[in-house]
Structure 1
Amino acid sequence: MAAKKKTTTAKSARGGKQDRARVAGGQDYEVRYEAKKTGRSASAVKKAVKKVGNSRKKVTRKLAR
C-alpha cells in the first residue's frame, strides 16, 4: 500500500488557510504581484478582477489579451 503524501497548506497571518487560486483585488501586494507577473499596471489588474472575478486563472487570461 502506498504511503499517503502529507500536504501542507499555507496559513495566513490570521491563521486561516490561504487560497492561492484567487486574487484579492483589495490587497495592494497581491495586485502588485499580479501586475508585475503580467507586465500590466495595477489599475489594469483591479479592473480585470472587477470584470472577470477573483479567479487567478481568469484574471491572468484577461490581462494576457
Structure 2
Amino acid sequence: MADDKTKTDNRDRSQVARDDDYEVRHFAEEAGITPEQARTLIKRHGTDRKVLHELAESIKGS
C-alpha cells in the first residue's frame, strides 16, 4: 500500500537544523567540509541549505 501523502511532518527541508548534531554532520559530509566549518557557516550565515552549499563550495575551492 502506498504512503498516505496527507500525513506530513511539516519539516522545512530547505533549512539545516542547527541544533541537531546529526543534521549538521550530514550537511558537512554532503558539502565536503568539516562539521566545525559547517557550524561556523550556520552561525554566521543562517540555516538556508542553498546558501550554505554555495559558501561551502567557496571554502573547498580555497
Q: How far 1:8 sits from its partner (Å)?
A: 5.6
The SS at the match of 2:38 is helix
Question: Separation in 2 of the partners of 1:9 and 1:58?
Answer: 29
Query: 1:18 and 1:51, CA in 2 relative to 1: closer, same or farther beyond 3 A?
Result: same
Q: Deviations over 1:1-23 (max 9, x none)?
A: xxxxxx66741xxxxx1000001
Q: TM-score, normalised by structure 2?
A: 0.76
Identical-pair percentage: 30
What is residue 24 of structure 2 aligned with on the other side? 31
Q: How far 1:27 sits from its partner (Å)?
A: 0.6
Cα RMSD (Å): 1.6
Question: Separation in 2 of the partners of 1:59 and 1:9?
Answer: 29
The SS at the match of 1:54 is coil
Residue ranges of structure 2 left out of the alignment (5+ in a row):
none
Q: Which has more radius of gyration?
A: 1
Q: How far 1:64 sits from its partner (Å)?
A: 0.8
Please identify which structure carries the higher helix content. Answer: 2
Query: 1:10 and 1:61, CA in 2 relative to 1: closer, same or farther beyond 3 A?
Result: farther
